[in-house]
Structure 1
């Protein structure tokens, strides 16, 4: 049986489409590939983005930048001088891009100007840290990317 050009092209297209479909189905059903959204309420969070910009700007305007230091005990977060630690409240969000189950949110309860995040909560790798805090009615927000 002789195959002409038209038949060969059609068979090549069918083979290519079958390969692509196989690849798409395999990738979409593989458990190793996590296809979830980054956050649960992505669109709701996007609406409050201007508040984040204002809070980040207030960190710069008030010279309220936080200092991060890696220690053997964990991550030491130092709040700026001139702020009473007992008047600071807020949260620290530890976001692990590679594994959502490792995400942690810690409420701020300060007794001194420094807060230690224990090493037991920080596995090696990349962390996105978001610290939202308020002092005397002003909102502050600082985001850091850290390789621990």
Structure 2
């Protein structure tokens, strides 16, 4: 005995499967978590010109900023132009995956370098945002850092 489906049943089955698929997609999309980069996004966008100016100041230095990761730590080397000068600011490890993985550290240098213990950081890809001031001049540098390996 074989079951025969007429064209009416086939159309009904097609529409029913489409409705079920759409309901599954709607349910899955409502469970998706979205984190904004910042709660004060618009306020920060207006003040972004300061970041652009600080980036230009950074580009004007003859030395470069280095960021190196080892198994135990992340070392940030400041440009040689700033050696021996007091550096004040913050280092932000921003993860696009989740705001729970973000980390922020005040800058504390020794011999023009800063060392951060890697155990506090997750195994992910970070955008390292270094914002600092030396002798009243603001500097800013961004660097991608892959700690997922």
* TM superposition score category, shorter chain reference: 0.7 to 0.9
Matched length = 143
Cα–Cα, structure 1 residues 123 and 85, in superposed 2: closer, same or farther, change >3 Å?
farther
2-structure distance, mates of 1:42, 1:55:
19
What SS does structure 2 have at the residue aligned with 1:40? Answer: coil
Aligned residue among 11, 23, 26 for 1:24: 26
Map Cα deviations across residues 74-94 of structure 1 (whole Å, 9 max, x no partner).
Answer: 111111123245521000001
1-structure distance, mates of 2:35, 2:18:
29
Partner residue in 2 for 1:137: 136
**TM-score under structure 1 length normalisation:** 0.80
Task: Return structure 1 stretches of 4+ with deviation > 6 angstroms.
Answer: none
What SS does structure 2 have at the residue aligned with 1:140? Answer: strand
Q: Which stretches in structure 2 are left out of the alignment for 5+ residues? A: 1-5
**TM-score under structure 2 length normalisation:** 0.80
Say what the alpha-carbon RMSD is for the aligned residues.
2.4
Mapped contact 1:86–1:109 kept (Cα < 8 A): no
Mapped contact 1:95–1:128 kept (Cα < 8 A): yes
